[in-house]
Structure 1
Amino acid sequence: MPARREVLAGIAALVGAGAGKGKPRARALAGDDFRHGLGQWAIEAEQPASVTARGGVLEIVAPAGLTLWFRPLLTGPIAIDYDLQAVSAGGPFDRVSDANCFWMARDPAAPGGDPLARPRDGRFEAYDTLETYYVGLGGNTNSTTRFRRYTGRRGDRPLLPENDRRAAEDLLVANAWQHLRMTAEGERITFVRDGRTLFDFRDPAPYRMGHFGLRTTASHLRVRNFAVSALA
């Protein structure tokens, strides 16, 4: 219990620091400071991978597809914040690519809609049957950044033209820490990087609860300061 209180206190400080002047402070719900192991996460990997949490940093070295699910169920309206770094240091998977994520993810075929109740093998296409929001940040060897709303139907990952970004400013920068925020606030779904909104999507039938998952393939990523907060 003391360790959990410390984590939540750190989350509250992070959320409070990010609140704009005159705006209500968001309420911390959950998070991970990556100093107490991987107990809050479930790994689905296509091939054996290295995933560690120590010294305040989550480190992922993945030779193929990998999804790291945050176990707690999240209910909106919420914001999810974390810092991410795509590593390029000469390692075999230091590709600077695919700093991706799912949020508000549900599996309609699983008990209670819980994707963790029906584990997958880490292949990208294995997640087609989720209902979820997804961003592929620096996908396709850092040539695209895309937002999709998955419909739960196999082979159906709709991509609107305005949600397919290819400009350099929308891609990854090697070894640079960046702050990511994704929200699910009723019909408004957003993805923000370093204060700049990349995607602002209006969903007439929003996904209001589900799980968060970090997603990558053939890459080396670092994550810190993971926090989930309620939006008033």
Structure 2
Amino acid sequence: MTTTRRAFGALAAGAALAALAPAAASASPRHRRLLARDDFHHGLRQWAVELEKGGSVTAARGTLEVDVPAGATIWFRERFEGPYVLEYTATPVSEGGVNDRVSDLNNFWNAVDVRSPDDLFATPRGGALAEYDYLKTYYSGYGANYNTTTRLRRYVGEAGVRPLLYDYTEPLLVPNEPNRVRIVSDGPTVQWWNNGRLVFDYTDPEPYTGGHFAFRTTWSHFRITDFRVRRLTPSGD
């Protein structure tokens, strides 16, 4: 039953993405004012790192390097309020290292912890995925290898409850191939793009419009560059 649902989801997703491609190509960018950036030359001062079983997370020479044996969440300390567009480039590393598994390019965004809604970092977390159930947030999971799904979830701040919005069997990560990610938070419009392809396009009747962003992965090795967040202006401006 699960296999059939995933296969159907993949076919439906392919048709939807194909239909959206011409519109996406012709859309004019609305983002203007820069809200935040990190070129990763000055360490982790803008980030908070939560690790399940240790590992290495460094920011130097233009690259955020994440090389971890288990769960890792790297939060941007500044909170963002929409509408905005967030972009970065992430490359899954496959060079024979112990963590070079090529899997799990994930993100939280517009995240708020219901236990400390005014301060995400007031509640300690240790990097295991279940510890994030108390967030209200969007969560994308872009998979490969043992993780053969690409998913979008909308967390509601309850333990064990992580509603699934999309469940695809493609697209998946390719070893050593850069992924230019774009996340759009524009009122009810929630989008996640990769290399110019609209992967998730969700209209939320009760949108999360502000909160924190994080990179999330588990047992993986990534190199991340060119992190930017820009304000979205109203259409026609």
For Structure 1 versus Structure 2, the TM-score category normalised by the shorter chain is: 0.7 to 0.9
Q: Give the structure 1 partner of residue 67 of structure 2.
A: 61
- Residues 47, 63 of structure 1: 8 Å contact kept: yes
RMSD over aligned CA atoms reads 1.6
Partner SS state of residue 146, structure 2 = helix
- CA–CA distance in 2 between the matches of 1:46 and 1:150? 20
- Residues 96, 141 of structure 1: 8 Å contact kept: no
Q: Give the structure 2 partner of residue 83 of structure 1.
A: 89
1:124 aligns with 2:134: no
Partner SS state of residue 126, structure 1 = helix
- Residues 104, 132 of structure 1: 8 Å contact kept: yes
What TM-score does the superposition give when structure 1 sets the normalisation length?
0.86
- Residues 90, 180 of structure 2: 8 Å contact kept: yes
Q: Give the structure 2 partner of residue 227 of structure 1.
A: 228
Matches within 5 A, 1:30-49: 30-49=36-55
Partner SS state of residue 143, structure 1 = strand
Q: Which letter maps to 2:143?
A: G
- CA gap of 1:95–1:28, structure 2 versus 1, over 3 A, is same
Shift of 1:141: 2.4
Q: Which letter maps to 1:194?
A: N
Matches within 5 A, 1:1-232: 23-112=29-118, 114-138=119-143, 141-160=146-165, 163-167=166-170, 170-232=171-233
What TM-score does the superposition give when structure 2 sets the normalisation length?
0.84
- CA–CA distance in 1 between the matches of 2:84 and 2:145? 29
- Residues 142, 172 of structure 1: 8 Å contact kept: no
- Residues 142, 171 of structure 1: 8 Å contact kept: no
Cα deviations across residues 74-99 of structure 1 (Å, max 9, x unaligned)?
10001110000000100001000011
Cα deviations across residues 55-111 of structure 1 (Å, max 9, x unaligned)?
101000011111000000110001110000000100001000011110000011115
- CA gap of 1:220–1:24, structure 2 versus 1, over 3 A, is closer
Shift of 1:115: 2.0
- CA–CA distance in 2 between the matches of 1:52 and 1:23? 32
Aligned residue pairs total: 209
- CA gap of 1:109–1:141, structure 2 versus 1, over 3 A, is same
Shift of 1:53: 0.8
Partner SS state of residue 26, structure 1 = strand
Partner SS state of residue 65, structure 2 = strand
- Residues 144, 173 of structure 2: 8 Å contact kept: no
- CA–CA distance in 1 between the matches of 2:226 and 2:43? 14
Shift of 1:178: 1.4
Q: Percent identity?
A: 48
- CA–CA distance in 1 between the matches of 2:211 and 2:174? 30
**Which segments of structure 1 move beyond 2 Å, counting only runs of 4 or more?**
20-25, 139-142
- Residues 148, 169 of structure 2: 8 Å contact kept: yes
- Residues 33, 224 of structure 1: 8 Å contact kept: yes
